[in-house]
């Protein structure tokens, strides 16, 4: 893909360009808002540079960018629009965002308007590892500004990042300083003088002058002022401008007496081969740093018990295109949900989570697109986002499963067979009307491709946290940097082994995505797991995922706490369904909470009359039932049909969203 890149001259933007090349993208334009020295970078890389001045200040200070007419972001949008007109083959924009949601959201807003893909390959990477990779890649950057407690003019200003690594790690581990190793908190800024992509290195005309902007003894603000630069030729052996050359870079780095071997650029294929070791290691390292924090919110209801599944059907002839039938059924289900919400004095703006089950095959992207069109109209138009709690669309879980005859019998139409009916069923979690206008809602909606977790490319959010509860979108085993499922090997390995390998990779990726998204939204991590439902398309995959979860998550929490901890049955339900988005073999549905829970998951019900009554009138629940089991007409709960559960004897699983 041909892309443009935002550049500031610092190490982050330069390394993000190198990462994009390692992912087989071609950078054809550099864009910046005119800091000094950047034109030398463009010349050193032989890439056209587009510059403009910032004419306005920031007027939109919220996390969600609302496109105000006179905001500094609109200055950048104007410049990128020029790039778009000049290079109509550009499809993406590279940025060096690491942790700033504010920065990422604004870049993604621009990309959405230009129909570009946002590429943020540094997003949420471990900053120590990232700094080592920059040094290992040969990024020659100097610290040109300091503005943090712990940093010193004499010692740190003008220091090469390769020499700064040991000190950065030491300050990062100092509780009195807690420096971001990459300076992501604004502690320091850098300028890049050379890197493998440069055909010429940048050389100062003379030694820079130190300027003290603020002489605060605890956090001096100082910077280097250069009088000018020149370009100096390099040997071709020191130039690595191709993907293949970058992937071959390897270097030993000495930090505190230890020699660390780095391969800064790794192919997607190599990343996938290491999952069975890397994922358990990551989870075991993270869990000791999490701690469950229970909060009490009194008796005020926070969620409205919308206790019905809204079912829409399409009974058109089979000759009608599937995406049109799905569109009709989805719109019908939403119309019923809208009517149901109105009975509570609510509307779509208060919905924070949706669960959609359809009888149609959803592996095909065009099928998902027809469902997403309805979601976009209701939840994700600019006007809808402004009205909504959290200013973002709800989280979403979507799956395919057969519907039982007693449900389909309600929609029997003369001349239409039951196997020809398309069913779309939607249930939702809704903020109570009493707290609608005072709701403390936080949304996470990362739309950039990265190595972290799959980007959101449709009209939903990765997670919505309301008060102490957080509801997450379903996580499947996509490769985050490509948004594709792992492919079977093309080697001479037996097909059965190849198939098993890529299925195993999906299982590990889905677990890792669940862990990483949860880690960001909930400090308690897995200890705060409210409930989870793991859906798989076969019994063997379901058992494999359960084994991985127990051996990785349950074992890590047990080791960290020094006492047995297992959520496999107490908080997780395991179900087989017909199909999952994009043809995935496994999907995690989950929620976290900081409040004491009445009951997480009940799997003991083997008959319909054993499903327990709600603990109190404000209890929200949903029931998964095995196809073939009796669906009681009085149940009055959100229902999700599944092919079967992990334990063959189980017919129903009741998930309570109640509190002690």
514 alpha-carbon distance from chain centroid = 9
Alpha helices (H) along 262-321: 268-273, 275-286
> β-pairing, 351-358 with 395-400?
parallel
pLDDT above 60 for 604? no
Q: Give the CB-side neighbour count of residue 241, counting CA atoms within 13 A.
A: 15
> β-pairing, 2-6 with 26-32?
parallel
Q: How confident is the model at residue 209 (pLDDT cuts 50, 70, 90)?
A: very high
Alpha-carbon distance of 253 to 129, in angstroms, equals: 12
Alpha-carbon distance of 623 to 636, in angstroms, equals: 10
Alpha-carbon distance of 205 to 40, in angstroms, equals: 13
- Main-chain dihedrals φ then ψ at residue 38, nearest 5 degrees: -70, -30
Alpha-carbon distance of 82 to 160, in angstroms, equals: 35
Residue 335 contacts residue 313 (beta carbons within 8 Å): no
pLDDT above 90 for 493? no
Q: How confident is the model at residue 345 (pLDDT cuts 50, 70, 90)?
A: confident
Q: Give the CB-side neighbour count of residue 434, counting CA atoms within 13 A.
A: 8
Residue 649 contacts residue 610 (beta carbons within 8 Å): no
* pLDDT-wise least confident of 5-9, 224-228, 576-580, 625-629: 625-629
> β-pairing, 639-642 with 620-626?
parallel
Q: How confident is the model at residue 203 (pLDDT cuts 50, 70, 90)?
A: very high
pLDDT above 60 for 548? yes
Residue 615 contacts residue 599 (beta carbons within 8 Å): yes
| Token duo for residue 8 | 């500031």
Please state, in angstroms and as integers, the Cα–Cα distance from residue 277 to each residue in 148, 152, 512, 592, following that order.
37, 40, 12, 26
Question: What's residue 368's pLDDT?
Answer: 85
Question: What's residue 610's pLDDT?
Answer: 62
Element (H, E) at 20: helix 11-22
Residue 634, by phi and psi: left (phi above 0), alpha (psi -120 to 50) or beta? alpha
Residue 8 contacts residue 35 (beta carbons within 8 Å): yes
Question: What's residue 489's pLDDT?
Answer: 67
Alpha helices (H) along 389-490: 405-408
Could you please report the per-residue DSSP string of 198-216?
Answer: -SEEEEESSPPEEEEEE--
Name residues whose C-beta falls within 8 Å of residue 557's C-beta, 6 or more positions apart in sequence.
Answer: 287, 526, 527, 565
Name residues whose C-beta falls within 8 Å of residue 126's C-beta, 6 or more positions apart in sequence.
Answer: none
Q: Give the CB-side neighbour count of residue 597, counting CA atoms within 13 A.
A: 24
Residue 338 contacts residue 348 (beta carbons within 8 Å): yes
Alpha-carbon distance of 588 to 516, in angstroms, equals: 13
| Token duo for residue 189 | 């800024």
pLDDT, one tens digit per residue, over 64-123 is 777 777 778 889 999 999 999 999 999 999 999 999 999 999 999 999 999 999 999 999
| Token duo for residue 40 | 């030398």
435 alpha-carbon distance from chain centroid = 28
| Token duo for residue 151 | 């940093």
Better-predicted residue by pLDDT, 316 or 5: 5
Name residues whose C-beta falls within 8 Å of residue 659's C-beta, 6 or more positions apart in sequence.
Answer: 595, 596, 597, 598
| Token duo for residue 358 | 């359809």
Mean pLDDT calculated for residue range 304-319: 75
Instruction: Quote the DSSP letter at residue 188.
Output: E
Please state, in angstroms and as integers, the Cα–Cα distance from residue 170 to each residue in 164, 181, 189, 193, 307, following that order.
10, 9, 18, 25, 54
Domains detected in the chain? 2-266 (3.40.50.620), 303-658 (3.30.1330.40)
Is the pTM value of this prediction over 0.75?
Answer: yes
- Residue 97, classified by CB atoms within 10 Å of its CB into exposed (0-12), middle (13-18) or buried (19+), is buried
pLDDT above 70 for 438? no
pLDDT, one tens digit per residue, over 564-599 is 999 998 889 999 999 999 999 999 999 998 776 544
Question: What's residue 525's pLDDT?
Answer: 93
Which three-class secondary structure state does DSSP give residue 494? coil
pLDDT above 50 for 492? no
pLDDT, one tens digit per residue, over 175-192 is 888 899 999 999 999 999
pLDDT, one tens digit per residue, over 376-399 is 999 998 888 888 877 899 999 999
Residue 457 contacts residue 447 (beta carbons within 8 Å): yes
Question: What's residue 599's pLDDT?
Answer: 43
Please state, in angstroms and as integers, the Cα–Cα distance from residue 210 to each residue in 30, 142, 148, 260, 506, following that order.
29, 14, 16, 33, 52
């Amino acid at each position: 893909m041909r892309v443009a890149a935002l550049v500031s001259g610092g190490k982050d933007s330069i390394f993000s360009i190198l990462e994009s090349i390692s992912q087989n993208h071609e950078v054809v334009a550099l864009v910046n808002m005119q800091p000094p020295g950047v034109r030398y970078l463009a010349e050193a890389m032989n890439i056209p540079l587009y510059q403009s001045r910032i004419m306005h200040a920031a007027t939109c200070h919220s996390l969600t960018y609302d496109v105000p007419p006179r905001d500094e972001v609109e200055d950048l949008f104007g410049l990128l629009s020029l790039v778009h007109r000049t290079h109509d083959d550009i499809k993406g924009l590279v940025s060096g965002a690491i942790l700033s949601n504010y920065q990422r959201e604004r870049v993604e807003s621009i990309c959405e308007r230009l129909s570009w893909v946002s590429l943020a390959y540094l997003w949420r990477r471990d900053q120590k590892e990232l700094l080592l990779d920059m040094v290992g890649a040969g990024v020659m950057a100097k610290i040109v500004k300091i503005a943090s407690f712990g940093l010193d003019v004499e010692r740190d200003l003008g220091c090469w990042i390769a020499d700064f690594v040991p000190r950065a790690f030491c300050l990062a581990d100092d509780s009195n300083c807690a420096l971001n190793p990459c300076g992501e908190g604004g502690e320091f800024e850098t300028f890049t003088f050379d890197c493998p992509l440069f055909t010429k290195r940048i050389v100062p005309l003379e030694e820079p002058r130190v300027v003290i902007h603020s002489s605060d003894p605890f956090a001096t603000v100082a910077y280097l002022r250069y009088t000018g630069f020149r370009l100096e030729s390099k040997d071709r052996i020191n130039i690595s401008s191709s993907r293949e050359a970058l992937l071959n870079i390897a270097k030993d780095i000495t930090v505190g007496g230890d020699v660390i071997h780095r391969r800064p650029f790794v192919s997607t294929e190599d990343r996938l081969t290491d999952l069975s070791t890397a994922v358990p290691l990551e989870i075991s390292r993270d869990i000791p740093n999490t701690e469950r924090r229970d909060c009490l919110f009194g008796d005020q209801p926070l969620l409205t018990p919308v206790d019905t599944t809204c079912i829409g059907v399409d009974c058109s002839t089979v000759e009608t295109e599937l995406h049109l039938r799905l569109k009709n059924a989805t719109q019908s289900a939403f119309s019923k949900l809208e009517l149901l919400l109105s009975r509570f004095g609510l509307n779509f703006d208060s919905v924070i989570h949706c669960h959609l089950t359809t009888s149609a095959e959803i592996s095909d992207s065009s099928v998902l697109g027809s469902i997403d069109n309805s979601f976009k109209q209701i939840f994700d138009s600019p006007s809808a986002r402004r009205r909504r709690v959290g200013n973002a669309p709800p989280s979403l879980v979507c799956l395919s499963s057969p519907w039982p005859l007693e449900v389909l019998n309600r929609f029997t139409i003369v001349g239409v067979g039951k196997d020809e009916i398309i069913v779309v069923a939607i249930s939702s979690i809704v903020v109570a009307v009493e707290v609608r206008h005072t709701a403390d809602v936080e949304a996470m909606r990362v739309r950039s491709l990265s190595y972290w977790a799959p980007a959101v490319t449709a009209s939903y959010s990765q997670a919505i946290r309301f008060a102490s509860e957080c509801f997450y979108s379903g996580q499947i085993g996509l490769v985050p940097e490509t948004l594709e499922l792992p492919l079977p090997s093309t080697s001479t390995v037996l097909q059965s082994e190849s198939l098993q390998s890529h299925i195993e990779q999906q299982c590990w990726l889905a677990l890792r995505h669940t862990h990483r998204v949860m880690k960001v939204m909930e400090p308690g991590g897995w200890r705060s797991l409210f409930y989870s439902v793991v859906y798989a398309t076969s019994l063997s995959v379901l058992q494999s995922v359960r084994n991985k979860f127990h051996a990785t998550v349950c074992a890590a929490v047990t080791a960290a706490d020094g006492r047995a901890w297992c959520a496999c049955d107490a908080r997780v339900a395991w179900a087989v369904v017909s199909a999952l988005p994009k043809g995935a073999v496994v999907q995690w549905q989950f929620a976290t909470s900081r409040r004491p829970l009445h009951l997480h998951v009940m799997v003991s019900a083997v008959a319909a009359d054993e499903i327990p009554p709600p603990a109190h009138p404000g209890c929200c629940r949903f029931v998964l039932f095995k196809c073939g089991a009796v669906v009681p007409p009085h149940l009055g709960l959100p229902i999700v049909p599944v092919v079967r559960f992990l334990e063959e004897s189980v017919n129903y699983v009741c998930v309570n969203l109640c509190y002690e």
